[in-house]
Amino acid sequence: MGQLLRKKTPEQKKKTRERTAGQAEERQSAGAKDGAGQAVARLAGKAASQVPKASSFKAPQFYTASIQFLREVRVELKKVTWPSRKQATGSTIVMIIFVLVIASFLGMTDSGLAYLVRMVLGGGR
């Protein structure tokens, strides 16, 4: 899950826009200087640098990620529309009745088939 997003102030938005505009200009000027061979080499270097390294287990990062996840779970649970007590009780009663009906049907079917097997095998006493 992603992190919770906080609203940025106008100053932060302005800094982000300026930074991305500056990076775009740098890329354009670098692209004009580079040849096709250098661009391919640059892409190959990026692919090589993206190879995952053997990571060691970092306990603090695990705990912070777990805490962040639990915070997000709490936020999502607040968004849920929970049923009223009357709705929950009604649904529970319907499910119990449904389970009893299915159980009795399967029990009668099992008894009937067991009786037929006994009759076919000759033990019909």
For residue 50, is pLDDT > 70?
Answer: no
Cβ pair 26, 94 in contact under 8 A: no
In this prediction, residue 7 has a pLDDT band, given cuts at 50, 70 and 90, of: confident
Q: Is residue 61 part of a domain?
A: no
**pLDDT tens column, 56-81:** 556 678 899 999 999 999 999 999 99
The answer as to whether 27 is a domain residue is yes
Asked whether residue 63 is domain-assigned, the answer is: no
| 31 inside domain | yes
Establish if 43 belongs to a structural domain.
yes
Domain count, the chain: 2
Domain annotation covers residue 40:
yes
Query: Rounded to an integer, what distance in angstroms lies between the CA atom of residue 49 and that of residue 67?
Result: 30
Q: Kindly compute the dihedral angle of the four CA atoms of residues 40, 46, 51, 54, in this order, to the nearest 10 degrees.
A: 150
Task: Give the predicted TM-score (pTM) of the model.
Answer: 0.41
Residue 22: which domain range? 7-50
Looking at residue 3, the DSSP 8-state letter turns out to be: P
Q: Coil, helix or strand for 28?
A: helix
Torsion of CA 26, 27, 30, 36, to 10 degrees: 180
| Torsion, Cα of 52, 55, 61, 62 (10° steps) | 100
pLDDT computed for residue 49 by the predictor: 56
